[in-house]
Amino acid sequence: MQKEIEMEFESTINSGQIPGVVLMAKDKSGTKLNYTRCYGTRTPRTGTEPTTTPTMTVDTPMRLASASKIITAVMAMQCVERGILCLDGDVADLLPEVGEMKVLDGFEKDSQPNLRDAECAVTLRHLLTHTSGISYVVEDPNLIRYRDLGLIAQPNAGRIAERFKYPLIHDPGRRWSYGPNLEWTGKLIERATGMTLEQYMQDNICAPLGVTDMTFKLQERPGMMARRADMSKRDEEGVPRIEEASYYQSDPEDCFGGMGIFASPAAFMAFLQSLLAKDGKLLSADTVEAMLRPQLDDECEQSLNDELDARQETNHGGLLPQVGIKRSHGLGGLLILEDCDGGDWRQKGSMGWGGFPNLYWCIDPAAGLCILIAFQLIPWADKKCVELGRLFERAMYEQLKDKM
């Protein structure tokens, strides 16, 4: 099956459907399974100079987008381990902007927003599980209306407090709603430690792992800039073209913990394998296990499943089946509460998430496997990327099973 999958990837790349991709899979020790393949180029081919187009490699820096969230979650849990932060304490002491957020309960007849006080405080646990009530604007019709009325001061600002200070869409702890919770988590870490999130990450993630290709500040890293992949977007005919992205032109003032990290696949895989192996480089084994446990009560868990089932076009589950599988949320990612395909694919308790450029990751403790599939093609949930990603994941599970 592995050879067939590799031929499928080669065919897809050679036909120009996908510019490039990096595939990685490892078991806990990297001895039974240590798979890496790189296909294609880090920029779309023009057809005129195919031999000079730089190839995609494991050291090609990429935009992680929302795959940044798990890294920021680990940084937050390091602060919890060290007594710097509390999972269940009110974050308003360090994040007064969050403490001031009202709940948006629709609008009056004159289009004035109906705002009220929240019933309880936002906690770090709420932020890490997307149950705080802080939603991305595009995820909620009331917030879209609120924005369109001009009530969000700077919706595209480079500072978190300006871009994401707007009302909650529900009381904390009442529902699951996807939002910029890890942006606020990053700001919480900064204020608790007195460090920028970039410096904290370099000292507490990169240094223990021995990796260098990971940063929020790409413009300050000319070596990474020179090797980075271009972002691609399909044109009207489905052909990948270079997307001129603002985040490659300048860094935002703040470190956006939920979407702002750039890293090479090799660096990100080192991070994932450390969590899988529970090797103590980043967190204690007990803390990793806590992150991988379901955190939602019945009400929030039902809302998560209802949301993901109802909005299949958004496909928050990434490579997972769109419907028909029960999910929850851990402290940093989506969990599945039952085996996929009778245990031949992801197993109960596996955690995963992804990033907008079709970058998918998974940590499966039961199988003893972590997987990274790194495209740089937008938008999210590209049909070809999802198809290829699922083929690769299944092949890796089959290969690991054959070696047991």
Cα-based distances in Å from 39 to 9, 17, 254, 266, 355: 7, 12, 33, 15, 19
DSSP for 251-314 reads --SS--TTT--EE-HHHHHHHHHHHHHT-SSSS-HHHHHHHTS----HHHHHHHHHHHHH-TTT
Backbone angles phi, psi at 49, to 5 degrees: -135, 60
Cα–Cα distance for residue pair 395/404, rounded to 1 Å: 15
Cα–Cα distance for residue pair 344/29, rounded to 1 Å: 21
Cα–Cα distance for residue pair 378/355, rounded to 1 Å: 10
Cα–Cα distance for residue pair 75/57, rounded to 1 Å: 27
CA torsion, ordered 168, 170, 175, 176, to nearest 10 deg: -20
Cα–Cα distance for residue pair 97/31, rounded to 1 Å: 48
CB 369 within 8 A of CB 340: no
Amino acid at site 54: P
| Catalytic pick among 11, 15, 29, 66 | 66
CB 291 within 8 A of CB 129: no
Cα–Cα distance for residue pair 76/85, rounded to 1 Å: 8
Residue 349 CA neighbour count, 13 Å, CB half: 13
Longest dimension (CA), the chain: 66
Cβ-Cβ contacts under 8 Å for 265 (sequence gap 6 or more): 22, 24, 58, 59, 60, 62, 372, 374
Cβ-Cβ contacts under 8 Å for 215 (sequence gap 6 or more): 198, 201, 202, 221, 224, 261, 262, 263
Q: What is the DSSP letter of 198?
A: H
328 is catalytic: no
Q: How buried is residue 37: exposed, middle or buried, by Cβ count under 10 Å (0-12/13-18/19+)?
A: middle
- Alpha-helix runs per DSSP H in 132-264: 141-148, 160-163, 181-193, 197-201, 207-209, 222-227
> What residues are labeled active site?
66
